[in-house]
């Protein structure tokens, strides 16, 4: 991996600025974990019977971004990227996927999520979360997605180490 392109979140900042910065930090971390690997390496699985791979994590996070931003605040009927129903596990099977396909979907969803957040007048913006059958705030969604990235970036650390021994950040 080359130098660290991540921007550190502010040590003193407002709530929105801090949430936005931490989300972008973790989004960049996931991309870093995949940097320099070819499709085959990105599809390497953790251990049988798991289908978890770095490419599967990118696909999964595209689904997470879509489910928590697009489907909650814009279009509750927007189809998921890799499943006919809301099945986050379907994204993990990246056996026939490519870097280009997975990253295109993920980057599209990240940009859409950023736009939704930027255009929202307040973090109190409410949207309907169909799985929970209740309204949630943009603040809650940002925290939830941030926690998803934090957990899965931990998986990405181990997956990357297993692929080529790269550790850190």
The answer to whether 4 touches 35, Cβ cutoff 8 Å, is no
pLDDT higher than threshold 70 for residue 2: no
Q: How far is CA 7 from the centre of its chain?
A: 17
Mean of per-residue pLDDT scores for the chain: 91
Q: Does residue 162 have a pLDDT over 80?
A: yes
Please report the pLDDT score of residue 169 as a whole number: 67
Residues 31-85 pLDDT 10s:
999 999 999 999 999 887 888 999 999 999 999 999 999 999 999 989 988 887 7
What pLDDT sits at residue 81? 87
- How far is the C-alpha of 59 from the C-alpha of 93, rounded, in Å? 9
For 117-136, the pLDDT digits (tens) are 999 999 999 999 988 889 99
Q: 21, exposed or middle or buried, with CB in 10 Å at 0-12, 13-18, 19+?
A: middle
- Residue 104 is predicted with a pLDDT of 98
- CATH architecture label of 15-164: Up-down Bundle (1.20)
Mean pLDDT, range 97-126, rounded to an integer = 97
Q: For the chain, which residues make up each domain, given as ranges?
A: 15-164
pTM for this prediction: 0.92
Residue 155 has pLDDT above 60, yes or no: yes
Mean pLDDT within 134-151? 97
pLDDT band with cut points at 50, 70 and 90 for residue 113:
very high
């Amino acid at each position: 991996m080359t130098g660290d392109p991540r921007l550190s979140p502010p040590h003193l900042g407002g709530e929105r600025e801090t949430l936005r910065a931490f989300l972008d930090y973790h989004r960049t971390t996931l991309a870093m974990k995949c940097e320099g690997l070819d499709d085959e390496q990105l599809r390497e699985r953790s251990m049988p019977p798991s289908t978890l791979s770095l490419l599967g994590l990118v696909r999964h996070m595209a689904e997470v971004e879509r489910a928590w931003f697009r489907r909650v605040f814009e279009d509750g009927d927007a189809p998921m990227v890799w499943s006919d129903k809301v099945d986050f596990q379907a994204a993990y099977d990246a056996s026939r996927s490519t870097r280009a396909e997975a990253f295109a979907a993920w980057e599209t969803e990240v940009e859409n999520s950023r736009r939704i957040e930027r255009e929202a007048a307040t973090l109190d913006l409410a949207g309907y979360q169909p799985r929970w059958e209740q309204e949630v705030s943009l603040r809650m969604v940002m925290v939830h997605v941030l926690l998803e990235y934090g957990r899965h970036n931990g998986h990405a650390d181990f997956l990357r180490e297993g692929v080529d021994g790269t550790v850190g950040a």
